[in-house]
Structure 1
Amino acid sequence: MKNILSSVGIGAAEVDTILPKTTFRPGETVEAEVEVHGGSTGQDVDDVYFALITSYRTEDGRKSSVIDKFRLTESFTIEPDEERTFDVEFTIPYSTPTTMGHTDVWVETGLDIDWALDPEDKDYIEVEPSPRLQAVFDAVESLGFTFHTAECQADPHGAFTSRRSFIQEFEFKPRSGPFAGDFDELELVPRESEGELTVHVEIDKRGGLLAEMADMDERRATLTVADADSRSVEADLRRTIEQHR
């Protein structure tokens, strides 16, 4: 009877991830622990997986996307009431979205057990902008733009990336400064690696309803950021926007 109950999750093994904190940056190395607690009967665990996940908007709703995933250990048997702890070390990938606006990122840990409801643990984390991306945000603010929203969206045709199915877009509104009244909004799509940050910039210029319907009000450019120097980024971004004024 205990085996039958365990197969539907009653009295089954449990898994819990212990993170050292809840806020991280891309490129940061994290040391955590995964605890497996035995249930009321012994169970064979085929796999312990650890994944970093986000979600993005599509035309049909929202989908989840695995940013990174790896296996923690070989198969083993967890005996009744036994406790096992596994040390985990992983790096937050540079492709991890920043948790601003409508963006969520979470760590999911699970046990793969045949003929049973797989136990899992889900921990939401905060992901701050990388130093280079923060320099871009500081530059945008210095030019008089205010953060409006951020969201992960599907990129089905690979317009911005060929390695994943979504992008993260940040929208800013001009409130003051040299470009106030000239544009509707400034949209940024970052792609970061260990060596540099590429920012796709879309400038929506005020052009009236006819121009907007024909997408004639949109101007696009690309900005490369090698260092977290907000003054240098501000100068480059200013030139980029002025070219499309």
Structure 2
Amino acid sequence: MGWLKKTLARVGVGSAKAEVSVEQDNIQQGQSVAVSLIVNGGESTQQVDNITFDLCCDFMGWEEVRGTGEQGRKKQRRRITHTLLSWSLPDAFALPAGESRRFETELNVPIETPLSMGDCNVWLETRLDIPMAKDPSTKTPLTIKPSGHIDTVFDVLEAHGLRIEKADCEQDERHPRSFEQVFSWVPISGAYEGVWRKLDVVVTHKDNALDIGMTVHRQGEGLGDMVGHFVGSNKLERSLVISLDDSVELVQDALNNVLQKIT
């Protein structure tokens, strides 16, 4: 191999590339799916020390910034990348120029992975660890569907005449390094139309249970609505804990019972 090709390979020019395919396009929270990886050789033989996979998502949050010569701390709002899961294939191998190698692995999607709704992005990032070279990487977008229990919760809310208006992934103020996904529902029919402005729902996974936090924003009129919005008197907060072992019927009954008590 010529000196020029060796030098280019070390800086990532003409180097190996990764092609990733996931068994299915739509993946449910908590589901395991097969992942295939094909590593295609570049223009020269390269040593691959490791293959790393990161399941990532992003959310809106605050990060501290400080310019040159500035005093004190400043914060700016920006999208933050969060790693949900990492694993690697420790097989080290030499990949000759133009050749390919195939690997199989499994992605175990954590139950707390956010849904692919609103502004939230979820992807699988794959990196090849090549000594003395810029590590080749690839991002595979994923579509995450709700688990069976969350799907049941959504069905109950829809049965009460509510529809999702938006879904936001936001920094969790209690745990700044993590996030929460807020689903905003608006009543378009039924008993809550004209009574509620919206219902915000946050689902948190704790051990073998779902903690469903609900904030009802009541509908008001005129000055009273303005004052109530300012002091928070037009809000009602409720919560419900559901075991992941509960049947669909138990989840439906428990949530219906909470909703019917809110006026």
The residue matched to 2:229 in structure 1 has which SS?
Answer: helix
Percent of residue pairs identical: 28
Give, in whole Å, the separation in 1 of the partners of 2:87 and 2:192.
Answer: 46
Give, in whole Å, the separation in 2 of the partners of 1:115 and 1:31.
Answer: 31
Residue equivalent to 2:71: none
Q: Which of 43, 48, 51 in structure 2 is aligned with 1:45?
A: 48
How far did 1:130 drift? 0.7
Q: Which runs of 4+ in 1 moved over 4 A?
A: none
Give, in whole Å, the separation in 1 of the partners of 2:125 and 2:160.
Answer: 39
CA contact (8 A) 2:24 2:33 kept: no
Superposed CA offset, 1:33-73 (max 9, x none): 11111111122223210111110011411011111110112
Q: Which of 237, 241, 245 in structure 1 is aligned with 2:259?
A: 241
2:157 aligned with 1:136, yes or no?
A: no
The residue matched to 2:174 in structure 1 has which SS?
Answer: coil
Structure 1 pair 228/107, CA: closer, same or farther in 2 (3 Å)?
Answer: farther
- Alignment: residue pair count: 240
The residue matched to 2:259 in structure 1 has which SS?
Answer: helix
Give, in whole Å, the separation in 2 of the partners of 1:64 and 1:241.
Answer: 35
For 1:98, give the aligned amino acid. Answer: L
Q: Which of 70, 78, 103 in structure 1 is aligned with 2:87?
A: 70
CA contact (8 A) 2:149 2:251 kept: no
2:105 aligned with 1:88, yes or no?
A: yes
In the superposition, the TM-score normalised over structure 2's length comes to: 0.84
How far did 1:90 drift? 2.5
Residue equivalent to 2:195: 182
In the superposition, the TM-score normalised over structure 1's length comes to: 0.90
Residue equivalent to 1:18: 21
Superposed CA offset, 1:209-236 (max 9, x none): 111112222222211223352x544443
For 1:198, give the aligned amino acid. Answer: D
Gaps of 5+ in 2: 63-76
Give, in whole Å, the separation in 2 of the partners of 1:73 and 1:120.
Answer: 16
How far did 1:242 drift? 4.3
Superposed CA offset, 1:127-162 (max 9, x none): 11111000000000011111111121101323xxx9
Matches within 5 A, 1:77-226: 77-158=94-175, 165-192=178-205, 195-207=208-220, 208-226=225-243
Q: Which moved more, 1:84-93 or 1:145-154?
A: 84-93
